[in-house]
Structure 1
Amino acid sequence: MHLHLQCSDIKILLVFAKEDAQSDGFWWAADKMGYKCFIAHNAEGALECYLDKHHDVVIIDHRNNKSFDPEALCRSMRATKSSDHTVIVAVTKRIAPEKDEPSVLSLLKAGFNKYVNPAYERLTGYSADEVIGKDATEMAKADRNKTDLHDTINNQLKKGKFWEGTYHTRRKSSDVGISTHCVFSPILGPGGKLSHIVSVQKTTPDTSYSDRIKEAEYNLANGGVAHGYPRRRESLAKIHSMTVEAPITKVINIINAAQENSPITVVQALDKVLEILRTSQLYSPHFVQPMKEGDTMTSDLVGGLVSQNVKRQLITSSQESSSVSHSKPVSGHHIHIPNNLLSQMQPEVLEILELEPSWDFNIINLEKATAKRPLVHLGLKAMARFGVCDFLRVDEMTVMNWLNLIEANYHSTNSYHNSTHAADVLHATAFFLTRERNQAVLDQMDQVACLIAAIIHDVDHPGYTNAFLINEKNPLALMYNDQAVLENHHAALGFQLSWKDNSVNIFKNLTRDEYTPLRETIIDMVLATEMKQHFEHLNKFVSCVNKSTLKLEETSSMSGTGSPDSMAIINQLSTPENRSLIKRMLIKCADVSNPCRTTEMCIEWAKRIAEEYFIQTDEEKRRNLPVVMPAFDRKTCSIPKSQTSFIDFFINDMFDAWDYFCDIPDLMAHLQENYRYWKEKSEDEAS
């Protein structure tokens, strides 16, 4: 929708419970055109503002709004006398082409404009019944409109572009056309075909009519509701509407909006700008041929100081074991199981592991059946399923010994950050790897790296947060300069333990060229679990992966070629930068997937993490350290409130983005169900 009305006194009211990319887009467009724009966050404030200002256009958010009833608000506005000159627009979710429009009738009954508003009827003399369903060009013809003008407009619309200029609208029972400033905007339906036309008209100064209309007039003259490109899933609405947006994301959104009204040369130039902005490493230069031939000094400097895998020596076991560590690795007690290890497990354990491919797999049952040693058993099953032994060229006993050693270095006394959590993250990681798009984009090295990263991502976690370790001046915090303290420790210790001796070294048979990228990927994924970088990783993923995918999907639809999972999209996603972002998002979602589990599992994990935070708060008070999370006081804490806050702030946007990318409807259903559960519990506590 384009608000290109040449009138500075147009007043627009935005009614959004919370400001997002959608509301920002409307505000930016209105500001660019010099319109007066107001925003309200609730029904009471919106109605009060409307009665005072009598806005020409009211845009109401109708996307699963829990804060107010959009239809009731529309009815209240329509009950006022001034609403005859007001266009009221509902912002709704896009509907898939194969689905009906269940909300249209209720919207019309509530008073939202679908086809023409009363001002259009008075301006032209045509009633809505006479206009709806008619050809727009037939209804608007006048002598002063030349045939070539219609051809120009039609050509623009068929290209998916809007047309703006002076147009002459026919008045009923008159051969004289009304001179208007008009914008024709195309609405593309399935297959990219022109479905409807939105015309925004304003009487120009030379018109002789005294009752010049001061509002925008929206006319869907071909019949039907103006929907844009149909989305694969409703969660795609979140791609352009995140709760917390980074500045670079807002810049990208502004450029996207600017492209709509720009000449083709500017559009192409801005496309190149967007391509640069969407790279995952904005400040890392790409060295193609930066050095003159023979300039070995510069080459060595660049290779040694910038590149991560140029002239790097393989780290041997002696080199790693001599590094400083303030956490004493545990030797572990090996579980002696002969070859064909999976078949030799206890029947009860095997029965539980049969459900491992399912998302509803119960890791707590495995914890009980294995006497708190679920990581070894689930690890063997998952790594066998993905062919890890074949990829690493090691036998199953080496993998089992490694899993046993890693699990022994998790603290079983932690209520949450123990080997059961690691096994749970491993299960989620394996599940995500089986999604169709991940299988198309990630190769076996990526899969193996993901599984190993999940297994070691919290090894030797002390049960306290980074902030606690920094505040107590823990040796780990001093070693890593207060930067991603635990995440750096987990990654480093995971490799130290692996190189301990040949009986546990799963990397021993890899060549340098195989080991180096695998190690880099594992470290990158483990470091991505630091919540301090949560919004940076999420915004990069949305901007570089999802929005690029969406653009290709829209292009395929408009051209009538390809499909949402065409090779063009897979090739776009398979760039090294995008694969890194996908793997980071994969382990991040796996790490905090508790709210997307069954309600029973969600409740159990919520209790466990709360208990761990309670212990930290108790320890901070006992030692007179700064209390990092005062809300987690065991005497006053509301676990339901903590869960709803966590879901609102961290989980919703991230899993909406992840759902769009790899299609996880079952998880999203669990998430909604669990949110309702915690919300009800929170309300019960409040009452």
Structure 2
Amino acid sequence: MGCASSIHISDRVVYHSGKESEDSHSPQQTNATQHQGNPASGLPLKPHSCKTTLTEVQFGPMKLFKDPLQVLLVFAKEDSQSNGFCWACEKANYRCSLAHTPESALECFSEKHHDLVIVDHRHSRHFDAEALCRSIRAVNSSENTVIVAVVKRPDREEASVMPLINAGFNRRYVENANMMACYNELLQLEHGEVRAQFKLRACNAIFTALEQSQDAIEITSEDQVIQYVNPAYEAIMGYQQGELLGKEIIEVPKSEKNKPDLLETINTCIRKGKEWQGIYYAKKKNGDNIQQNVKITPVIGQGGKIRHYVSINRPLNDNNKSEKSSERVQAESQTDIQSRSSQRRHSSMARIHSMTIEAPITKVINIINAAQESSPMPVAEALDRVLEILRTTELYSPQLGTKDEDPHTNDLVGGLMTDGLRRLSGNEYILSTKQPHHLPSHLATPLSLNDIPPRIAQTMETEGSWDFDIFNLEAATMKRPLTYLGLKIFSKFGVCEFLNCPEATLRSWLQVIEANYHSSNSYHNSTHAADVLHATAYFLCKERVKQSLDPIDEVAALIAATVHDVDHPGRTNSFLCNAGSELAILYNDTAVLESHHAALAFQLTTRDDKCNIFKYIERNEYRTLRQAVIDMVLATEMTKHFEHVNKFVNSINKPLAALEENGGNNDEESVKSILTSPENRILVKRMLIKCADISNPCRPLELCIEWAGRISEEYFAQTDEEKRQGLPVVMPVFDRHTCSIPKSQISFIDYFITDMFDAWDAFADLPNLMQHLDNNFKYWKGLDERKLHSLRPPPE
């Protein structure tokens, strides 16, 4: 059940501007000052302004971005202990104020409302620390402040902490002026008590939102004991909060209108941890029944068990025929609102129908709007939810249910399917749009396919097999496999004949494209391009694919595979966007790399007649070929991964399956119309290059392991550079010191590979690939179950 309003909760949220905040230059006069310095030097600490940094605090589904912690130190005089805490605050980038008297401490706290207060409790002759703590607690804003007492090291018997707790202290710190001891104490406080207080503040804000909600909300414990109801619930059901709290739901009168099996269905569903939503009758305090649209959500708590149930109830007043007169008025009011809404909808429809061009999605929305007019309220509300979904732009992108629980999948999705978290300031990563390479002299061979050295030719003898070892060719060609494999595959498919260009032109083109791949990249180099070209050629030989595509499609696919990652910098789109790179600026943070690959490929091709493979084809044919190449290269961008896969399944696989169920293989004309329609040919080409691009998990195990190591190293290098430059780390799990490569491979296969290759196998018939995929997944699972993080198990 959707809510009509949105809720925004703010807790001193700041934007990182790279500048000091205003209050970092407002030290207290006289006895309260902000400090920095090295206590080990023995020199007095000097006033300063702490750096403004951004601290991220995660609370379950909520994420708060806090400005630096405000710390107040209350010491009658500066000594090694106070200096130790000052140094620790500086190291942790906290804002630190130092007060010498209770009066200045209270004045400073009233102005800044510090998150953490540390009070010297060692010398009672200077001031009464417990009295000061009680005074601070008397300030309204101190409710969520953590207060620590610094106490003397006990000489004999350990003293009780109860006097400190009764005075309002949260904990004590036994004096220790060691700088790292102070620093560690502050870190533990921040990540323990202080963060807990942040969470409590957020909870207060959430309960404020619940109090204002127009939906009736009920929260129960795992044992179905009512723990909270909001004012809307009281108003609708006629109860006062005190009449319900602490009661089991079975004690509250229930409507007999609900069927017994409905209650059993609800309980079975929610006890399994699943959400239930549907129509339910409740009994008000006065005995009347009220029909409600109810959503009950189990809340997982400590130990992974269900600890609470949250019920959101919205009355369906126009269907409650047994309601009394006051409720009938409310129902009529609701009907009036619906009537006005209907009139607005008719007005909007009239404008839409007057348009001369109507998109298919508009037609769908019109049909649903028309159906709503004569539908009962539950159906109308369900159709409203359908319309909300249809009006979103991400119709084909699923929501990852386990994202928060699986950091590997979370990071892969965040790193591969987003355009980064934009920095508002900071260093810029300059990826220069360098001048195209000149042809190095050592790339002048081979002159033709017949001149390939025998050693290299021998490594390409199994090129027609899926199990072809691209790494043997990489070694034999000294990391230049693309030119040689390209010559053989392009010759097999008659590309020169189709383009009407000499083989020497094709050779020069392959050499120029390969020279613009970065051999320094561990993964995105010309060996990857050669591997994708090999997979593309393999797929093009499959019968169903051959039935779908024309010769121009085959040529476009081979060219697109060859150039699809040209000049790849070894960094993801998210990285380039975060770093403000020239390419990200040029392409407006949208499909940055893929746009660059496609554009540079045509620049390199057309700049010199010696490598212009398009020089000899007719203009219209060139335009068609160019558009197909660009479309395929852009399809390798992962943000539209699910859109491409789902369109392929719904437009091609499902209609073909329906034909087969109806005895369809005999209906050749129907099959042909599905396979060869212009729209579906585009979908086949997109799916083909996508599968070729990320087919590593479907290769034989040894090749799969090698590719996994290479992509991991490239992601490790990116994480290293992000940390060096102070950029957002888009894939934190890819830290070379902590990453589990098996887990990352399992997540990649689960989230991106399995469904896509199931669909592609159903179309192209690839049982050998699916067997490799199954074997490789079991291999990674086996390593993960043994808690191994490496590519291979240790030697026996």
Band of TM-score, shorter chain: 0.5 to 0.7
Q: 1:396 to 1:680 in 2, by over 3 A?
A: same
> What is aligned with 1:230?
none
Q: 1:640 to 1:566 in 2, by over 3 A?
A: same
Q: 1:505 to 1:638 in 2, by over 3 A?
A: same
Say whether residues 1:368 and 2:475 are aligned partners.
Answer: yes
User: CA shift at 1:336, angstroms?
Assistant: 3.4
What is the 5 A alignment of 1:128-207? none
> What is aligned with 1:529?
636
Give, as a single letter, the amino acid of the residue that structure 1 aligns with 2:781.
K
> What is aligned with 2:605?
498
Superposed CA deviations along residues 272-292 of structure 1, whole A, max 9, x for unmatched, are xxxxx9xx999xxxxxxxxxx
> What is aligned with 1:411?
518
Superposed CA deviations along residues 23-56 of structure 1, whole A, max 9, x for unmatched, are 99x999xxxxx9x99999xxxxxxx9xxxxxxxx
Give, as a single letter, the amino acid of the residue that structure 1 aligns with 2:491.
A
Q: Secondary structure at the match of 1:517?
A: helix
Superposed CA deviations along residues 178-201 of structure 1, whole A, max 9, x for unmatched, are xxxxxxxxxxxxxxxxxxxxxxxx
Aligned length: 403
Give every structure 1 segment of 4 or more consecutive aligned residues whose post-TM-superposition deviation is greater than 3 Å: 7-16, 36-40, 334-339
Contact 1:428–1:590 (CA under 8 A) maintained in structure 2: yes
Report the Cα distance in structure 1 between the residues aligned to 2:268 and 2:492, rounded to whole angstroms: 51
Q: Which runs of 5+ in 1 are unaligned?
A: 1-6, 29-33, 41-47, 49-247, 259-276, 283-323
> What is aligned with 2:746?
644
> What is aligned with 1:539?
646
What is the 5 A alignment of 1:354-393? 354-393=461-500
Q: 1:538 to 1:567 in 2, by over 3 A?
A: same
Report the Cα distance in structure 1 between the residues aligned to 2:612 and 2:645, rounded to whole angstroms: 34
Q: 1:499 to 1:542 in 2, by over 3 A?
A: same
Q: Secondary structure at the match of 1:534?
A: helix
Say whether residues 1:627 and 2:729 are aligned partners.
Answer: yes
Q: 1:346 to 1:39 in 2, by over 3 A?
A: farther
Say whether residues 1:336 and 2:444 are aligned partners.
Answer: yes
Contact 1:640–1:679 (CA under 8 A) maintained in structure 2: yes
User: CA shift at 1:457, angstroms?
Assistant: 0.3
Contact 2:740–2:788 (CA under 8 A) maintained in structure 1: no
Identity %: 57
Q: 2:706 aligns with which of 604, 613, 625?
A: 604
Report the Cα distance in structure 2 between the residues aligned to 1:683 and 1:602, rounded to whole angstroms: 19
Say whether residues 1:476 and 2:583 are aligned partners.
Answer: yes
Q: 1:512 aligns with which of 607, 619, 625?
A: 619
> What is aligned with 1:674?
776
Say whether residues 1:618 and 2:726 are aligned partners.
Answer: no
Report the Cα distance in structure 1 between the residues aligned to 2:754 and 2:478, rounded to whole angstroms: 34
Contact 1:13–1:37 (CA under 8 A) maintained in structure 2: no
Contact 1:14–1:39 (CA under 8 A) maintained in structure 2: no
Superposed CA deviations along residues 94-115 of structure 1, whole A, max 9, x for unmatched, are xxxxxxxxxxxxxxxxxxxxxx
Contact 1:14–1:38 (CA under 8 A) maintained in structure 2: no
User: CA shift at 1:567, angstroms?
Assistant: 3.1
Say whether residues 1:459 and 2:566 are aligned partners.
Answer: yes
Report the Cα distance in structure 2 between the residues aligned to 1:615 and 1:565, rounded to whole angstroms: 54
Give, as a single letter, the amino acid of the residue that structure 1 aligns with 2:700.
T
Q: 1:37 to 1:450 in 2, by over 3 A?
A: same
Superposed CA deviations along residues 577-618 of structure 1, whole A, max 9, x for unmatched, are 111111111100000000000000000000000000000000
Superposed CA deviations along residues 315-357 of structure 1, whole A, max 9, x for unmatched, are xxxxxxxxx9823221132533466x22221112111111011
Q: 2:659 aligns with which of 549, 552, 559?
A: 552
Alignment RMSD: 4.0
Q: Secondary structure at the match of 1:563?
A: helix
Say whether residues 1:440 and 2:440 are aligned partners.
Answer: no
Report the Cα distance in structure 2 between the residues aligned to 1:451 and 1:541, rounded to whole angstroms: 20
What is the 5 A alignment of 1:240-259? none
Say whether residues 1:572 and 2:680 are aligned partners.
Answer: no
What is the 5 A alignment of 1:50-449? 326-333=433-440, 335-337=443-445, 341-449=448-556
Q: Which runs of 5+ in 2 are unaligned?
A: 1-257, 279-291, 299-305, 307-360, 372-389, 396-430, 790-796
Report the Cα distance in structure 2 between the residues aligned to 1:642 and 1:588, rounded to whole angstroms: 19
Superposed CA deviations along residues 643-682 of structure 1, whole A, max 9, x for unmatched, are 0000001000110111111111100000000000001111
Contact 1:596–1:670 (CA under 8 A) maintained in structure 2: yes
Contact 1:469–1:476 (CA under 8 A) maintained in structure 2: yes
Give, as a single letter, the amino acid of the residue that structure 1 aligns with 2:688.
L
Give, as a single letter, the amino acid of the residue that structure 1 aligns with 2:438.
S
User: CA shift at 1:563, angstroms?
Assistant: 1.0
Q: 1:395 to 1:27 in 2, by over 3 A?
A: farther
User: CA shift at 1:631, angstroms?
Assistant: 0.5
Q: 1:13 to 1:455 in 2, by over 3 A?
A: farther
Superposed CA deviations along residues 405-446 of structure 1, whole A, max 9, x for unmatched, are 000000000000000000000000001111110000101000
User: CA shift at 1:547, angstroms?
Assistant: 1.4
> What is aligned with 1:582?
684
- Where relative contact order (Cα < 8 A, 6+ residues apart) is larger, the structure is 1
Q: 1:15 to 1:646 in 2, by over 3 A?
A: farther
TM-score of the two chains, using structure 2 as the length reference: 0.46
Report the Cα distance in structure 1 between the residues aligned to 2:266 and 2:656, rounded to whole angstroms: 32
Give, as a single letter, the amino acid of the residue that structure 2 aligns with 1:449.
A
Q: Secondary structure at the match of 1:685?
A: coil
User: CA shift at 1:15, angstroms?
Assistant: 10
Report the Cα distance in structure 2 between the residues aligned to 1:388 and 1:518, rounded to whole angstroms: 12
Q: 1:39 to 1:600 in 2, by over 3 A?
A: farther
Superposed CA deviations along residues 152-183 of structure 1, whole A, max 9, x for unmatched, are xxxxxxxxxxxxxxxxxxxxxxxxxxxxxxxx
Contact 2:547–2:675 (CA under 8 A) maintained in structure 1: no
Structure label with greater radius of gyration: 2
